[in-house]
Amino acid sequence: MPDEEKVIPKKVVPKKKLLDPRELTTCEATARMLAKARNDGVELAFDRAQNMKACPIGADSACCKHCFMGPCRLNSKDPYGKVGVCGATIDTIMSRNFARAVAAGCSAHTDHGMAMLDLFREVLEGHIKDYEIKNVQKLEYVAREMDIETEGREVKDIAMDLYKELERTYTQVDGEIPFVKRVPQKTLETWRKQGIVPRGAMREIMELMHRSAIGVDQHYANITKQCSRVALADGWGGSMVATEIADILFGTPSPVAIEVNMGVLKEDQVNIIIHGHEPNLFESMVASVAEPTLVQAAKDAGAKGLNLVGMCCSGLEMFSRHGTPHAGNFMSTETILVTGAVDAMVVDVQCIKQALAQVAECYKTQLITTNPRARIEGAKHVEFHEDTPKDCTDEIVIQAIGRFKNRGVEVEIPQIVNSGVHGFSHEYINYMLGGTFRASYTPLNDNIINGRIRGVAGVVGCNNPRMKQDYVHVNLVKELIKNDVLVVQTGCSQIALAKAGLTTPEAAHLAGPGLKEVCETVGMPPVLGLGACVDNSRILIACAEMVKTGGLGDSIADLPVAGCAPEYMSEKAITIGQYFVASGVFTVFGVTFPIVEGTKFHKHLFEELEELGMGKWGFATDPFDIAKLMIDHIDKKRKALGIDKARERVLMDMSDRREIDAA
């Protein structure tokens, strides 16, 4: 494949008057760089979204193109007025489209997890020497959970047994995936009754792709069952394995002070951004930027040093483990190139906009792809091999130094840096609340039962240029903590909250009196960042621990918890939503939901799944409406548990509203 194909930057001719940048994002640095991009004649996703209206038929998922008799387009205003050429109803069409999104999202996480497991095996077999087992304690803990003997055995033997056990997560054709051992008994019974316990991810994804093809499964409820099975193969399978193996190889995160925002770039240093999802690439970059010869080369080029920075989920993995600075979330990946200060943007897989190639070209930045799965026209490719990782990452540093020497563009870095404390694993929540000598979830459960903490909310996921960047994340979380709901986070959402200053212990003053008291006693923020999107598995484990600790019901569906992805854009988010729902969690999505209201499939997802013992979906776009849905659900669960006591929802007062409107 040719490496050096150049993309010709195109001068933007706006088709219509564009909105002011501050109406498109609450991130000041991103707004400034969007304005600069417009002045420079460079088009970004914010403006493309305004110039390209979302297709209304696709947005309703009323378009079927699973065969070539169509595509068939149904009318969401009259959903049962007609059917596709084969006779497919709108429920079949929508559930098939939903299924394909679930399969794609699960594939992304499980392929990532399987790659981590491959790395683990190669380390154990001695074929890869640049990585090693850093966390033996976690290895033994996970092994014991999987009924693997650890007493008096060599670490390598335990690890190999664990590898063989966890490989079943992907390849097993019959039986149940290994991590069902972590699922609370009653939740597992519901899954068994519904026939949705995953066998192995590959088999489940294959079956879902088969069933959603023309002329196969034509009952929305039956398709939904396989969607749940695939989604659970992600949450309790592929993603969970990815998280656990990353912890074993690279260390389990524990709270660390971090810096976020574009001000982490340094004009007088060689700036290298890592954006994507694979921690192995980033871990090797950490080693390369510490290489004395490369540091000296940077100095010889006139730089004060090498500045390594993360973005999106790669960045989240790294700041959770190493405190590496983070430059921004999904909707800032183009705008950061507009600073002119990025000497190399290095990408691997997932959430990488193709337009980065063109924007990088405009600002003379090196865009470097590294993974054979994901190449981009116009980008340079330096392939990453796990057995010789530094060959790739050293070369990237050399390329970045070369660009620093000849930047040739004006550099303008918004000098905005925020700080926070991140890196809360479910293990750390244990220690933090229970203390080192009696680590347990009992204090959390007790504080929920006594009402200091009303419940727990997971607020996760992406940005979407069809929403004002970060606005819904930040205002939703503020409303939740004000109502004594402890918030846990993964993915790009936590960068929104870090930029808003809510991930510091000092943010406890924004919480309701009960949550504030708990945060101040423990010294923790009211908003806990748990890592990347694959680390949603940490939230599942925390839920399972809450059930096992006792006092909050027998299944995850009994817990006073709720989840939300208020600005999502990725198919991966749909899969995550479905595995939380199938696990028993009420899960609200914002932006848009690809299902027509008033249809049988909509009723199935939004009502009937809960009647079957699972969670259910919800939808709203306004942060305060979303908060109300989540808090009402938490209160409903508290009542069912008999731990409700008269408490009113704290309403935003006018000064709060003004503060938000001014944001």
Residues that bind ligand BF8 (CB under 6 A): 277, 312-313, 330, 350-351, 461-462, 491-492, 532-533, 570, 572
Question: By C-beta, is 313 or 498 nearer to ligand BF8?
Answer: 313
User: How far apart are CB 295 and ligand BF8 at their closest, in Å?
Assistant: 29
Query: Which residue from 241, 326, 238 is spatially nearest to 282, judged by alpha carbons?
Result: 326
User: How far apart are CB 312 and ligand BF8 at their closest, in Å?
Assistant: 4
Q: Are residues 595 and 555 in contact, defined by beta-carbon separation less than 8 angstroms?
A: no
Query: Which residue from 590, 602, 589 is spatially nearest to 90, judged by alpha carbons?
Result: 602
Torsion of CA 620, 622, 627, 632, to 10 degrees: -50
Burial track 407-444 (b if 16+ CB lie within 10 A, e otherwise): bebeeebbebebebbbbbbbbbbbebbbeeeeeebebb
Question: By C-beta, is 184 or 461 nearer to ligand BF8?
Answer: 461
User: How far apart are CB 581 and ligand BF8 at their closest, in Å?
Assistant: 18
Distance CA 345, CA 406 (A): 16
Maximum Cα interatomic distance, the chain, rounded to a whole number of Å: 72
Assigned token pair, 640? 């069912």
What's the distance, CA 74 to chain centroid? Answer: 32
Assigned token pair, 387? 């057995």
Question: By C-beta, is 392 or 496 nearer to ligand BF8?
Answer: 496
Question: By C-beta, is 232 or 312 nearer to ligand BF8?
Answer: 312
User: How many C-alpha atoms does 534 have within 13 Å on its Cβ side?
Assistant: 30
Question: By C-beta, is 327 or 444 nearer to ligand BF8?
Answer: 327
Question: By C-beta, is 79 or 328 nearer to ligand BF8?
Answer: 328
Query: Which residue from 115, 135, 111, 129 is spatially nearest to 253, judged by alpha carbons?
Result: 135
User: How far apart are CB 267 and ligand BF8 at their closest, in Å?
Assistant: 26
Q: Are residues 286 and 393 in contact, defined by beta-carbon separation less than 8 angstroms?
A: no
User: How far apart are CB 235 and ligand BF8 at their closest, in Å?
Assistant: 13
Query: Which residue from 95, 106, 109 is spatially nearest to 225, judged by alpha carbons?
Result: 95
Question: By C-beta, is 271 or 469 nearer to ligand BF8?
Answer: 469
User: How many C-alpha atoms does 539 have within 13 Å on its Cβ side?
Assistant: 33
Question: By C-beta, is 312 or 559 nearer to ligand BF8?
Answer: 312
- The answer for residues whose C-beta is within 8 angstroms of residue 390's C-beta and 6 or more apart is 130, 284, 287, 288, 291
User: How far apart are CB 460 and ligand BF8 at their closest, in Å?
Assistant: 7
Question: By C-beta, is 128 or 533 nearer to ligand BF8?
Answer: 533
User: How far apart are CB 284 and ligand BF8 at their closest, in Å?
Assistant: 20
Question: By C-beta, is 168 or 468 nearer to ligand BF8?
Answer: 468
User: How far apart are CB 277 and ligand BF8 at their closest, in Å?
Assistant: 6
User: How far apart are CB 419 and ligand BF8 at their closest, in Å?
Assistant: 21
DSSP state for residue 278 in the 8-state scheme = -
> Cα 606–610–611 angle (5° rounding)?
115
- β 256-260/418-422 pair status: antiparallel
User: How far apart are CB 193 and ligand BF8 at their closest, in Å?
Assistant: 31
User: How far apart are CB 283 and ligand BF8 at their closest, in Å?
Assistant: 17
Question: By C-beta, is 358 or 570 nearer to ligand BF8?
Answer: 570
User: How many C-alpha atoms does 543 have within 13 Å on its Cβ side?
Assistant: 32
Strands, E, within 63-191: which ranges? 63-64, 72-73
Prior bond to 71 cis, omega within 30? yes
